[in-house]
Structure 1
């Protein structure tokens, strides 16, 4: 299948909305934002925070989880850190702090693309099931030109799969430094814990896959999963399709 990469429709997907700090930034960067958050408490707080944007039609919030099929599944809300909440129980309870379990609706990514359109930027931060989202892009003819995802110890596999999907440029974003960054074009400073800039605004140049994997091995972790980064440093991987003939 010959894929096309959407780059100019002014639509962003925030997959893993959490407290809404990323959504607040994306609303400054795009005409429309679609946010997904499985935690019912966080989704309710976000609806109150962004009431005006929802009523104007600029923001749609879906309280559900992304999975590879429709249905209901248990969602594990971490009592220690809301960012760890996941469909995967061990992921949510990684430090033994306990979880609260709720049942959530699950839909495939293609369902949201059919409802809203394919975004030009897709943030994937769905704790433990990120790879499922990448896999769901494989059969689709139209996919985002830009993607970001949390490293989550599987960066080599993520990059290999994204390369197979046609992404040819990669950046590493040091998430421990996000609070030092700003997007001056939209007068936005990034709160600590947010995902930070997107696409071309992420500091640094784009790497082709092989040089990027070498950089990843030097800065993040070895192929034997030996950690290279200091404690407290974590990373996001950004990918793009930079081939003009493939962009729409």
Structure 2
């Protein structure tokens, strides 16, 4: 998903954390807006793709690690059918992607959002796309940063609501949603958390997915 609404608010020099950068398509959009981008990608072959794609670009830093609640190491399930779906979350493999083949396990070094902030500064925008591991990533953040987005899916609504509660405790007060691959927000203005909760609770679509934004 390309969050055009957020990209259009970026100014040259703004810092962006692209958590789950994959092959760098989102990073490319951030760079086009003039941002500095820290790409966090735990899969070695994809981190190599990122380094090659952005070779010589001083506004890109590639971190070949995963993010979690604590520093350490963790096992990642990788699908050679679709590496974009690779995950640290066991529950992710029994949802809508239960028929995928998870044919590799890799050990990955884990860092935290707090560590990234300490090293690079507070980002204007932090995109989190980590295939069901959002709760653990946000647990690694101890204070409010810039606009933050994270992916949600219908079958793990409870997880998404837990992340929403975490963000409220960190000081986030305004929210919005983009559905599926739609580039625009669901609401023309930012809304309080309970409108997001109501909208996601009322939806009966088992295929509902998208991104929740907080500021």
Shorter-chain TM-score range = 0.7 to 0.9
SS at match of 2:87: coil
Counterpart-to-counterpart distance in 1, 2:210 and 2:115: 29
Cα offset, 1:238, TM superposition: 0.7
Cα offset, 1:129, TM superposition: 1.8
Counterpart-to-counterpart distance in 2, 1:165 and 1:71: 24
Matches within 5 A, 1:1-248: 10-53=14-57, 57-92=58-93, 94-137=98-141, 139-140=142-143, 143-152=144-153, 153=156, 154-178=159-183, 204-219=188-203, 228-229=204-205, 231=207, 233-240=208-215
Cα offset, 1:103, TM superposition: 1.7
Counterpart-to-counterpart distance in 2, 1:92 and 1:214: 27
* Pairwise CA RMSD: 2.4
Task: Classify 1:69/1:160 alpha carbon distance in 2 versus 1 (closer, same or farther; 3 Å).
Answer: closer
Deviations 1:179-217 (A, max 9, x none): xxxxxxxxxxxxxxxxxx7xxx88632111122221222
Are 1:167 and 1:239, in contact at CA under 8 Å, matched by a contact in 2?
A: yes
Counterpart-to-counterpart distance in 2, 1:69 and 1:214: 32
Counterpart-to-counterpart distance in 1, 2:166 and 2:70: 20
Deviations 1:11-59 (A, max 9, x none): 0000000121111111123431101001111111111111132xxx201
Cα offset, 1:171, TM superposition: 0.9
Task: Classify 1:203/1:28 alpha carbon distance in 2 versus 1 (closer, same or farther; 3 Å).
Answer: farther
Counterpart-to-counterpart distance in 2, 1:60 and 1:213: 35
Counterpart-to-counterpart distance in 2, 1:109 and 1:145: 12
Give the number of aligned pairs.
198
Are 1:92 and 1:99, in contact at CA under 8 Å, matched by a contact in 2?
A: no
- Which aligned runs of 4 or more in structure 1 are off by greater than 6 angstroms? none
Counterpart-to-counterpart distance in 2, 1:90 and 1:168: 29
SS at match of 2:171: coil
Cα offset, 1:92, TM superposition: 4.8
Between structure 1 and structure 2, the one with the greater Rg is 1
Are 1:67 and 1:107, in contact at CA under 8 Å, matched by a contact in 2?
A: yes
